[in-house]
Each structure stands twice: as structure tokens, then as C-alpha cells.
Amino acid sequence: MNEYKLVFTGTTGAGKTTAIKAVSDVDIVQTDVDNTDGSFKKSKTTVGLDFGLLHLPDGDRLRLFGTPGQERFDFMWKILIKDAFGLIILIDNSRPNPLSDMQVYLEAFKEELSITPCVIGIGRTDENPTPDLDDFVEQLEKANLVFPVMSVDVREKEDVVMLIEMILAQVESNF
């Protein structure tokens, strides 16, 4: 049996904890505390990491790690991405500037993105259709990056599995 590390990152409220809960085969470990940052409306926020585990049909396991979303905890991003085989960036399309949000993570993980498969999941697109997926793809192209970009509802297990399958497909094609 092999174990692989997969990291979920993105802004506060993008759904990292929810995504991991949706697919984890075990109760997830969370480091949530009461939110004291009035700039976003959430009662709890992750300050360390989230952790879940997904058993694959071949017996391998995915260790699922979620980063804190607040940039003041960005030191955890570098710790958690170490030795990861893939990165899922979640973007909340209801935030004031989702394209800028994505740029923060592209810059923060710039070094890792040259060698690590990645997929971008855009949430809340039903209520907030702009920017659209093409706008995100265009921004990736400007950064000379090519990654799958898809609309996702992280509450739906099938959607999160789709993101994971996109990472696995990149790994199988030797990224």
C-alpha cells in the first residue's frame, strides 16, 4: 500500500474543510477556532490544518491536507505542500475579486507549481457567474500555466472526487 499527500488550499470560506469532509473515509482532524477577523462572515476558521484520509480502490491511500485560508497563516502553506503529489486550489467566486485571490495562490506556490499537478476549483459560480471559467484560464495562460479549471460545489462528494481524479490523471500522464 502506498500513501500520497494531497493539499487543498484557497481563501477563507472557499470550502477546503468542507471538501475534505465530503470525501474523507475517517472523521477529519480540524484546527478550527472562533473567528475573530471581522473581514469575513464565518464563525470558525482553520488556523493550522485539516486532515482526512481517502482509501483508493487499489488499496493506496490519499492523505488529504487543508491549509488555513488566511494569508497571515501562509507559513503553514509551505509546510503542508512539502512532499505533496498534488495541489487543489479552491476559489470562492462570491468574493470581491476571485481572480486576485487565485493570483495569491499562484504566487505563493509558484515554485511547487512547476513540478506539482494542480487543479483549480471555482465555487459558488451559480450565484456569481462572473468572472467565468474562461477568465480564470486566461489568467493562468498569462502566468504560463496550464491547469484544469472547473466549477465545483465542495459539498458534493462527486465534485470533490472529480477534482481528485483530475490530479490523478495528471500524475498518470507524468504531469
Cα–Cα distance, 99 to 118 (Å, whole number): 17
Domain of 149, CATH number, reads 3.40.50.300
Which residue range is the domain that position 87 belongs to? 3-172
Cα–Cα distance, 86 to 8 (Å, whole number): 9
Residues β-bridged to residue 45: 33
Residue 116: pLDDT band by 50, 70, 90 thresholds? very high
* Domain total in the chain: 1
Q: Which of 42-51, 82-91, 118-127 has the lowest mean pLDDT?
A: 42-51
Is residue 104 predicted with pLDDT exceeding 80? yes
Is residue 38 predicted with pLDDT exceeding 70? no
Tens of pLDDT along 58-68? 999 999 999 99
Is residue 37 predicted with pLDDT exceeding 80? no
State mean pLDDT over 22-37. 80
